[in-house]
């Protein structure tokens, strides 16, 4: 891999935020007048605190960022990315159930970036193993 990857791909649940969007919280989400993101039961929803800075730094380095999530709560996941102000960092969103090999094949087709020039962040071993077989770090 060159000095920087040509695409950085992030999982969502337990990678950008500390919960499963399909089970631990209750969509739809909204933002209160003080800017806090809340779920439908009024519980505060937070990102991992370092996430905005990491995405900002990648953008500054010219590294495009994409999301690859296998959640079934597609609408809620998209809504959280929007409410947290993160949509502007992502060039592609691949959010749907199934093996992440599919997510990465679509990212490869859309960007033209070889798997070996992508970097992937995920908390689940099964995803890391599947995507690692494609040659992604």
Residues in contact with Mg ion by CB under 5 A are 11, 13-14, 123
Task: Quickly count: other Cβ atoms within 10 Å of residue 104's Cβ.
Answer: 24
Q: How far is the CB of 45 from Mg ion (least distance, A)?
A: 16
- Residue placing its CB nearer to Mg ion in the complex, 50 or 123: 123
Q: How far is the CB of 113 from Mg ion (least distance, A)?
A: 22
11 is known as an active-site residue: yes
Among residues 13, 39, 122, 130, the one annotated as catalytic is 13
- Residue placing its CB nearer to Mg ion in the complex, 18 or 112: 18
For 80, residues 6+ apart whose C-beta sits below 8 A from its C-beta are 12, 17, 21, 29, 37, 45
Alpha helices by DSSP H, 1-137: 51-60, 74-83, 100-111, 125-132
26 is known as an active-site residue: no
DSSP state of 62: T
Task: Quickly count: other Cβ atoms within 10 Å of residue 114's Cβ.
Answer: 14
Give CA–CA dist 82/80, Å, rounded: 5
Q: How far is the CB of 64 from Mg ion (least distance, A)?
A: 21
Q: How far is the CB of 32 from Mg ion (least distance, A)?
A: 26
Residues belonging to the active site: 11, 13
């Amino acid at each position: 891999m060159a000095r920087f990857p040509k695409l950085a791909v992030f999982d969502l649940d337990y990678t950008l935020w500390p919960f499963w969007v399909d089970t631990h919280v209750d969509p739809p989400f909204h933002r209160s007048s003080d800017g806090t993101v809340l779920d439908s039961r009024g519980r505060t929803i937070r990102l991992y605190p370092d996430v905005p800075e990491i995405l900002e730094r990648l953008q500054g380095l010219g590294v495009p960022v994409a999301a690859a999530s296998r959640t079934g709560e597609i609408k809620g996941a998209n809504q959280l990315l929007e409410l947290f102000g993160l949509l502007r960092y992502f060039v592609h969103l691949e959010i749907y159930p199934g093996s992440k090999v599919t997510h990465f094949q679509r990212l490869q087709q859309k960007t033209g970036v070889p798997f070996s020039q992508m970097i992937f962040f995920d908390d689940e071993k099964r995803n890391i193993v599947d995507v690692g077989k494609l040659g992604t770090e």
